[in-house]
Amino acid sequence: MAKTKETRAKAKPGDQRLGNQFWLFRTRHGNKKLFSDPEFLWEECLKYFQWCEDHPLKEQKVFHTNGLITKSNVCKMRAMTIRGLCFYLKVSDETWSNYRKDRDFFGVIHEVEQTIYDQKFTGAAADMLNANIIARDLGLVDNKKIDADIKIRPENWLKELE
């Protein structure tokens, strides 16, 4: 049951607990930033890039040569993503977006996002990543706009029905 103005507890004379303004004495509001400066964020992003290089995806392929069937693991490029980076850094997508709005971090965020974009684009262009998926992710769409004026006269198609 929500307390209304009438049912709310009243402070006794001299009691400072109710109606205080201790929140005004806080030195900061909200959580402390995980990355205190852009250089530290850049270093952590470089670690993610290196992790992606060091941990490629593995695909098992079956080969047939000289009557022998062999299985082999083939390494495939791991696409870097903002979501993967956020998971690696242990931050949410919203936190990443907040860093993007911060003037101090704008340059680093822009550089990181351009690096990820370029890695995906060149990987797809070299057929190391699925070009269709990467094109959609990067917003590269091949749209064709067709404008046409079509006039339908009801009397023409009514005659055809008869």
Q: What is the DSSP string of 85-136?
A: HHHHHT--HHHHHHHHHSTTTHHHHHHHHHHHHHHHHHHHHTTSS-HHHHHH
- Is 66 part of any domain? yes
> What's the pLDDT score for residue 26?
59
> pLDDT tens digits for 36-89?
899 999 999 999 999 999 999 898 888 888 888 888 888 899 999 999 999 999
* Domain at 117, CATH number: 1.10.132.80
Q: Is the pLDDT score of 126 beyond 60?
A: yes
Residue numbers of the domain that contains 100? 34-139
- Our CA angle for 32, 33, 36, nearest 5°, is 120
- Is 150 part of any domain? no
Supply the pTM of this predicted model: 0.65
- Is 18 part of any domain? no
Q: For the chain, what is the mean pLDDT?
A: 81
Q: Is the pLDDT score of 104 beyond 80?
A: yes
Establish how many alpha carbons lie within 13 A of residue 40's alpha carbon, considering only the half-sphere containing its beta carbon: 8
Q: What domain count does the chain have? A: 1
